[in-house]
């Protein structure tokens, strides 16, 4: 019987994949499997994975015929997974020896649906510890209770799928799959759904995941149209939260977080291609207009003045443009 399945997508990470694969080898066990998903790499990553398929115990190589993005690659791994428990790892990160064995022992002892862990952020040679924003450690908690309060960083603001371990019953309930086609922010609807619908979780102070930042091939470093998928991702969060039986309680948190993300991206338009920056402003204004007006007003009132002013200004400008356009078109109609 397979105890643990680890889903690891790879796309053009030839320079970093050897560290990832070595760390998997250091975590190998007879009852562990590593599902290596090659998302149609073109830089030599495929050859590394083929070798790993022969040399890393428990490695299973899966291939996409075309590049489909991280969300779909993770789903491919989930479709093939046979384990009692599931984990995720990105193809440019790595884990400490024995990390997965420790997490399996912990989740079996606690008997909860999923674990959340801390991690080490690696930027060049610098390393910093990042804690899951859950104060009570090693204690089984109700995931829904970890969504609020709206004005503080909570568990849904720590969306990293690889920072945890998940019982297979969540997969059977449809809670572990990712929205196909999302090229960035794919973890956002996923973490919200997990916290709304799972029954139990625990946070543990395990530091075994090394998350590499500043990778040139990462979408966090690329200023093209794919970055704007965060809007589609958070539209999904809002829509699904509005259907929740506690929508009135949870929506302020979802809307405030969405506003903060929009503000962050608007503050970084300099790294986008000009056409993408224009599209970002238009899509952001449209997203703000789609939000429940009373909840949006409350959210803006709770944010710092500078960020709230940016969002209000964006709303006014695009509202004025939307009104002016029909007028201009009417003026062009001959008498």
CATH of the domain at 58: 3.90.550.10
More confident residue, 184 or 88: 88
> Mean pLDDT, the chain, as a whole number?
92
Q: 296, 288 in Cβ contact below 8 A?
A: yes
Identify whether 271 is part of a domain: yes
**Residue 334: what pLDDT?**
53
Q: Do 132 and 163 belong together in one domain? A: yes
Report the distance separating Cα 278 and Cα 318, nearest Å: 12
Residues 174 and 111 in one domain: yes
Residue 16's H or E segment, with its range, is: none
Are residue 163 and residue 261 in the same domain, yes or no?
A: no
- Can the peptide bond before residue 149 be classed as cis, meaning omega within 30 degrees of 0? yes
Quote the number of domains for the chain: 2
Out of 218, 253, 274, pick the residue that ends a domain: 218
Q: Which two structure tokens, joined as six digits, stand for 71?
A: 């969300």
Boundary-marking domain end, from 218, 246, 278: 218
Q: 50 lies in a domain?
A: yes
* Predicted confidence band of residue 335 (pLDDT cuts 50, 70, 90): very low
End position of a domain, from candidates 167, 200, 218: 218
Range of the domain at 314: 225-323
pLDDT value, residue 271: 85
Q: What pTM does this model have?
A: 0.91
What pLDDT is stored for residue 323 in this prediction? Answer: 45
pLDDT at position 226 is 86
Pairwise CA distance, residues 17 & 28, whole Å: 16
pLDDT bin (cut points 50, 70, 90) of residue 183 is confident
- Tell me which residue of 42, 84, 77 sits closest to 60, measured CA to CA: 77
pLDDT, residue 217, reads 54
Check whether residue 282 and residue 303 sit in a common domain. yes
Asked if the structure places residue 177 within a domain, the reply is yes
Residues 194 and 258 both lie in one domain: no
How confident is the model at residue 225, as a pLDDT? 86
pLDDT digits (tens, 9 = 90+) for 49-101: 999 999 999 999 999 999 999 999 999 999 999 999 999 999 999 999 999 99
Query: Are 277 and 283 within 8 A, CB to CB?
Result: no
């Amino acid at each position: 019987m397979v105890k643990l399945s680890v889903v690891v997508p790879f796309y053009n990470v030839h320079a970093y994949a050897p560290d990832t694969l070595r760390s998997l080898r250091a975590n190998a066990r007879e009852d562990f499997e590593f599902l290596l998903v090659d998302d149609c790499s073109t830089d030599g990553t495929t050859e590394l994975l083929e070798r790993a398929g022969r040399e890393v115990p428990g490695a299973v190589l899966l291939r996409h015929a075309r590049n489909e993005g991280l969300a779909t690659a993770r789903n491919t791994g989930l479709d093939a997974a046979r384990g009692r428990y599931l984990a995720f790892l990105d193809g440019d990160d790595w884990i400490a020896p024995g990390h997965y064995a420790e997490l399996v022992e912990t989740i079996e002892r606690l008997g909860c649906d999923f674990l959340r862990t801390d991690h080490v952020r690696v930027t060049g040679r610098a390393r910093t510890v990042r804690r899951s924003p859950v104060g009570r450690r090693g204690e089984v908690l109700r995931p829904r209770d970890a969504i609020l309060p709206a004005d503080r960083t909570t568990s849904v603001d720590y969306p990293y799928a690889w920072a945890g371990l998940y019982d297979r019953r969540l997969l059977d309930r449809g809670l572990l799959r990712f929205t196909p086609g999302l090229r960035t922010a794919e973890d956002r609807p996923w973490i919200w759904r997990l916290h709304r619908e799972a029954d139990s979780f625990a946070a543990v102070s395990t530091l075994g995941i090394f998350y590499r930042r500043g990778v040139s091939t990462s979408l966090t470093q690329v200023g093209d149209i794919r970055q704007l998928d965060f809007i589609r991702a958070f539209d999904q969060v809002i829509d699904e939260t509005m259907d929740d039986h506690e929508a009135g309680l949870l929506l302020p948190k979802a809307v405030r977080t969405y506003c903060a993300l929009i503000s962050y991206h608007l503050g970084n338009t300099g790294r986008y291609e000009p056409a993408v920056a224009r599209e970002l402003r238009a899509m952001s204004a449209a997203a703000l207009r789609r939000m429940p007006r009373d909840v949006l007003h409350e959210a803006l009132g709770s944010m710092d003045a500078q960020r709230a002013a940016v969002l209000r200004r964006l709303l006014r400008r695009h509202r004025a443009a939307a009104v002016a356009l029909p007028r201009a078109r009417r003026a062009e109609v001959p008498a």
